[in-house]
Amino acid sequence: MHRATQTALYEWPHIVGPAVTRQCLKCKAPMRQSLRAYSVLPPPRDSEEKEMLARMIRVDHAGEYGANRIYAGQMAVLGRSGSGPLIQEMWDQEKKHLGKFTEIMADNRVRPTALLPLWNVAGFVLGATTALLGKEGAMACTVAVEESISEHYNSQIRLLMEKDPERYTELLKVIKEFRDDEMEHHDTGLEHDAESLPGYWLLKNAIQLGCKAAIYASKRL
Ligand SMILES: [Fe+2]
Ligand SMILES: [Fe+2]
């Protein structure tokens, strides 16, 4: 084979790679450009459905973004401790979740919430301050946040099932898979002594109140 042709063929992925893999301008998560017109969401029937789906994706993206920042804060404090690998493992799954919602947003031209800069700081601060209470503090934060996110996903699953399960099959698959991951993170927190933190219930309720407010705001702004 001619040398130039060989080079062109073998180096093709490297040549096209940077052009295809982009980053979300706001959250910096890797964004894959889909070749299909849509991936997970059906083409909207009307403006009402379009708005409903956009709100769902926007708030889910915001939640996964916040979760990533929480784990980043936890790792900044506990990364070198014995809990580091466990926290990193959960963080890696959050990166996957965020990447998926970033991709769905790009495919469907859904804008992210205007509150991302706030969740950037608030998530990191929450993760780092609870981690300063020790491993139990970090795990208590994980239990509180993951329970809230799981409940949020469950309410979306209920809504989509009531509306039209067949129409939303792909979206349901994504949300159910992520809900299961969040439940696993929640259980991991409990297995690693979250409840032995003094003031656990107080902290858990305070964090969950914050999560509810964040979900409410991210749907609307
Ligand atoms: Fe997640
Ligand atoms: Fe999670």
Q: Is 152 annotated as a binding-site member?
A: no
Which tokens sit at 200? Answer: 């656990």
Q: Is 151 annotated as a binding-site member?
A: no
Q: Is 103 annotated as a binding-site member?
A: no
Which tokens sit at 104? Answer: 């769905």
Residues in the chain: 221
**How many angstroms separate the alpha carbon of residue 216 from the centre of ligand 2?**
19
Check: pTM over 0.75? Answer yes or no. Answer: yes
Q: What total of structural domains would you count in the chain?
A: 1
**How many angstroms separate the alpha carbon of residue 14 from the centre of ligand 1?**
30
Mean pLDDT split into 10-residue runs, the chain, 221 residues: 43 35 62 56 91 95 96 96 95 96 93 93 96 95 96 97 94 96 95 92 94 90 90
- In this structure, what are the phi and psi dihedrals at residue 137, rounded to the nearest 5 degrees? -65, -45
Among the bound ligands, the one closest to the CA of 183: 2
Among candidates 122, 140, 144, which has minimal Cα distance to 200? 140
Element of type H or E holding 22: strand 21-23
- What is the number of other CB atoms lying within 10 angstroms of the CB of residue 95? 15
**How many angstroms separate the alpha carbon of residue 95 from the centre of ligand 1?**
8
- Domain of residue 113, CATH code: 1.20.1260
**pLDDT recorded at residue 219:** 86
- pLDDT tens by residue, 112-165: 999 999 999 999 999 999 999 999 999 999 999 999 999 999 999 999 999 999
**pLDDT recorded at residue 220:** 82
Q: At what angle do helices 169-191 and 84-107 cross, to 10 degrees?
A: 160
Q: Is 64 annotated as a binding-site member?
A: yes
The angle at the Cα of 158, spanning 156 to 163, to the nearest 5 degrees, equals 95
**How many angstroms separate the alpha carbon of residue 125 from the centre of ligand 1?**
18
**How many angstroms separate the alpha carbon of residue 207 from the centre of ligand 1?**
16
Q: Which domain holds residue 54?
A: 3-220
**How many angstroms separate the alpha carbon of residue 145 from the centre of ligand 1?**
10
